[in-house]
């Protein structure tokens, strides 16, 4: 029997940039192995993309792979193992042999790949940029209720919305509900001009921004109109039972103890709830009115509730934001020490 050949070569000419070629490779598959590797109607290609942060497509007998080298190598090794087993007749030809080998390869390379969790959205894949962000993405797939606490720029809300969009696409939930307390900076809705939508939309704008970053605006608008996605003030949650929903409460430091209790008790069957906030940034008239930290202390030991704490090191915005937050934190700590010493 003729030896099977798998050649991995850059798909660009040498004149193209190394940054492009270093993230692209081609695996040539022999005719006799095409069905085993690509699957019926190329079904295995979707499996490859759902298992690794790669873009994969077929061109004749070529498997074109785009992504970081370590992930391309994982897929390449799984393919090598598959065609070798076929050649040596160690296993019967079966549709999912390549999938089984990829699972085994992923298990073997777990230390190399555990620093990412793939969250697929309509605009592409979202991968955490820090270990804590990747832990967060993992938790967002497993736990019933998640509290994400930390400063601005750590990805608390963006990653929660990304997880919601991804799991809606996967049909794990029927709808997404995004909410915020509608009263911030001391303003009451009744004193603002316009109808209800005009009044609340400015407070909800960051949620729209995150959504549009993760989904084409025309699709997002269509899903909002159909009710698959709802963006509403926290007060609109009262009296409802939210089944089959991925529900996010953002800026929860601006919600009172009773409001957070009301929100969490809306949780219905097959639903997931995420509460995000920064306790140092409450806009309530009295900081002590915020119910975020008190709710966490009451609930954190309950099974299927997880609390994840971000800090300045997790900020993925401009480095200056990290420096500003660290400076404010240092000052607050200094002021607290002064107050304690004077009492």
Is domain 119-310 classified as CATH 1.10.10.10?
Answer: no
Task: Please report, in tens digits, the pLDDT of each residue of the chain (343 residues total).
Answer: 444 444 443 343 333 444 444 678 888 888 878 888 888 888 888 888 867 778 888 888 888 998 888 788 888 888 888 888 777 765 555 557 888 888 777 666 544 444 445 566 655 677 777 778 888 999 999 999 999 999 988 889 999 999 999 898 888 999 999 998 876 434 455 544 455 556 666 767 888 888 888 888 888 888 888 999 998 889 889 999 999 999 999 999 999 999 999 999 999 999 999 999 999 888 887 777 889 999 999 999 999 999 999 987 777 666 677 778 778 878 888 787 777 777 6
One fold for both 8-113 and 119-310? no
Tell me which DSSP letter residue 29 carries. -
The DSSP string of 110-170 is HHHHTT---EEETTEEE--SSHHHHHHHHHTTT-SEEEEE--TTS-HHHHHHHHHHHHHHT
Residue at token pair 């704490």 = 309
Rounded CA separation 99/6 (Å):
18
Report the 3 state secondary structure along 275-335. Answer: EEECHHHCCCCCHHHECHHHHHHHHCCCCCEEEEECCHHHCCCCHHHHHHHHHHHHHHHHH
**Domain locations in the chain?**
8-113, 119-310
- What are the Cα distances from residue 30, in Å, to 33, 61, 97? 5, 7, 16
Rounded CA separation 199/187 (Å):
11
Rounded CA separation 289/257 (Å):
7
**CATH class of the domain comprising 8-113:** alpha beta
């Amino acid at each position: 029997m003729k030896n099977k050949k798998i050649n991995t070569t850059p798909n660009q000419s040498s004149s193209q940039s190394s940054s492009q070629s270093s993230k692209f490779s081609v695996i040539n598959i022999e005719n006799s192995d095409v069905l085993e590797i690509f699957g019926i109607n190329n079904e295995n290609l979707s499996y490859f993309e759902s298992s690794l942060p790669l873009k994969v497509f077929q061109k004749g007998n070529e498997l074109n792979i785009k992504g970081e080298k370590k992930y391309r190598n994982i897929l390449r090794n799984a393919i090598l193992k598959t065609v070798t087993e076929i050649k040596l007749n160690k296993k019967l030809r079966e549709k999912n042999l390549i999938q089984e080998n990829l699972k085994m390869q992923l298990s073997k390379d777990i230390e190399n790949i555990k620093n990412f969790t793939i969250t697929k959205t309509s605009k592409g894949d979202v991968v955490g940029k820090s270990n804590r962000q990747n832990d967060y993405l993992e938790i967002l797939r497993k736990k019933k209720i998640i509290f994400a606490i930390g400063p601005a720029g750590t990805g608390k809300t963006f990653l929660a919305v990304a997880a919601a969009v991804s799991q809606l696409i996967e049909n794990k939930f029927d709808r997404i509900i995004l909410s915020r307390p509608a009263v911030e900076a001391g303003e009451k809705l009744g004193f603002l001009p316009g109808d209800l939508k005009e009044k609340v939309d400015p407070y909800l704008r960051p949620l729209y921004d995150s959504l549009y970053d993760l989904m084409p605006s025309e699709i997002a608008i269509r899903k909002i109109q159909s009710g698959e996605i709802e963006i509403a003030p926290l007060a609109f949650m009262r009296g409802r039972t939210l089944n089959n929903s991925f529900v996010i409460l953002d800026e929860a430091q601006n919600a009172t103890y009773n409001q957070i209790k009301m929100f969490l008790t809306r949780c219905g069957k097959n639903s997931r709830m995420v509460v995000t906030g920064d306790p140092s940034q409450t806009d309530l008239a009295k900081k002590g009115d915020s119910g975020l930290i008190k709710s966490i202390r009451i609930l954190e030991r309950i099974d299927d509730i997880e609390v994840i704490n971000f800090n300045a090191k997790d900020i993925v915005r401009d480095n200056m934001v990290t420096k500003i937050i660290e400076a404010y934190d240092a000052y607050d700590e200094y002021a607290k020490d002064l107050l304690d010493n004077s009492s």
